[in-house]
Amino acid sequence: MPLVTYTQDEKAFVAKDNPVRIKKTIASGADLVQGTILGRVTASGKLKAYASGSSDGSQVPVAVLLEVAAAASADVDAVVGFAGVYVERNMTGLDAAAKLALEPKGIYFV
């Protein structure tokens, strides 16, 4: 397989390659920026910002937000990336534990 060369500025991208993109519901409570690591609330199935100290299910990272989600006052639908390769420096909320948990789900960071 030939080596792939990227000539565009990586800072402009959340994902380097084509991730699996699906529109999902982001739970109300906070406005989220593109590149936010997301966890799934067990009771509702909605996504919200990953927080390792939570106990509602969002302590388990599952995806990457691919667009801004203005969810401060109401649930919103937003495009979320699942399996794919993402630019690590563009992530929000990514920690070492999240990286380890996301890799078996096919989510990698460069």
pLDDT tens per residue across span 30-71? 999 999 999 999 999 999 999 999 999 999 999 999 999 999
**Any domain includes 27:** yes
**Any domain includes 3:** no
In this predicted structure, the answer to whether residue 8 has a pLDDT above a threshold of 90 is no
Distance between CA atoms of residues 68 and 48, nearest Å:
12
**Any domain includes 29:** yes
pTM exceeds 0.95 for this model: no
Range of the domain at 66: 10-109
**Any domain includes 102:** yes
**Any domain includes 5:** no
Using DSSP, how many helices (H) and how many strands (E) does the chain show? 1, 9
**Any domain includes 1:** no
47 burial via Cβ count (<10 Å: 0-12, 13-18, 19+): buried
Number of domains, the chain: 1
**Any domain includes 2:** no
Banded model confidence at residue 15, pLDDT cuts 50, 70, 90 = confident
